């Protein structure tokens, strides 16, 4: 698969996240059309209508599993999961703003303290490259 095709595919999957309800309707319509085609094939082969419908549904398999597989192909499950996590986090922050503020401040102070400490250590450490002097020169031997 070419690079451009992969980029377009990932872009389309990301865009499908924002139109999830229409994607679900399209998938349901497509799955229904496949079952209807199978029923028509069975009727053309001489089966009774009820037997044709039952055979088509049995051969098609689990509708929910097929819908989930198709949805995974049409959207990016990783991005969808991240989106759900962010939505849940924002909802929790709205319900308990005191806890959210405490958690955010704790993280900010911890990250800031680590940055300061490592910056001080990095600035105070002398350059150790001078301690080794000139590099040892090896000899190249002729194969022989």
Q: Is the separation of the CB atoms in 75 and 20 below 8 Å?
A: yes
Reported confidence tier of residue 139, pLDDT bands at 50, 70, 90: low
* CA dihedral of residues 62, 28, 80, 1 (deg, nearest 10): 90
In terms of average pLDDT, the best of 4-8, 9-13, 14-18 is 4-8
Mean pLDDT of the chain: 82
Whether the predicted pLDDT of 37 surpasses 80:
yes
Q: Which of 32, 28, 31, 24 minimizes the C-alpha distance to 75?
A: 24
DSSP string for residues in 80-128: HHHHHHHHHHHHHHHH-HHHHHHHHHHHHHHHHHHHHHHHHHHHHSPPG
The C-alpha atoms of residue 74 and residue 69 are separated, in whole angstroms, by: 9
Helix (H) or strand (E) holding 43: helix 20-44
Q: Is the separation of the CB atoms in 67 and 27 below 8 Å?
A: yes
Q: What is the mean pLDDT of residues 8-23?
A: 74
Give the pLDDT score at 38. Answer: 92
Q: Is the separation of the CB atoms in 76 and 14 below 8 Å?
A: yes
Tens-place pLDDT, residues 72-91: 776 777 777 888 898 899 99
**Residues 5, 23, 18: CA angle, nearest 5 degrees:** 80
Give the pLDDT score at 120. Answer: 87
Of 141 and 95, which is predicted with more confidence? 95
Q: Is the separation of the CB atoms in 80 and 17 below 8 Å?
A: yes
Reported confidence tier of residue 46, pLDDT bands at 50, 70, 90: very high
């Amino acid at each position: 698969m070419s690079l451009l095709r992969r980029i377009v595919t990932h872009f389309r999957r990301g865009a499908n996240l924002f139109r999830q309800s229409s994607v679900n309707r399209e998938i349901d319509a497509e799955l229904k059309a496949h079952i209807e085609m199978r029923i028509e094939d069975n009727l053309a082969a001489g089966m009774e209508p009820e037997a044709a419908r039952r055979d088509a549904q049995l051969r098609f398999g689990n509708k929910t599993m097929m819908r989930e597989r198709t949805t995974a192909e049409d959207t990016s499950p990783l991005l969808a999961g991240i989106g759900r996590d962010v939505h849940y986090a924002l909802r929790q922050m709205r319900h308990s703003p005191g806890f959210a503020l405490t958690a955010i401040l704790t993280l900010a102070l911890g990250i800031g303290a680590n940055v300061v400490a490592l910056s001080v250590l990095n600035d105070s450490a002398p350059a150790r490259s001078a301690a080794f002097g000139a590099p040892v020169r090896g000899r190249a031997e002729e194969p022989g």
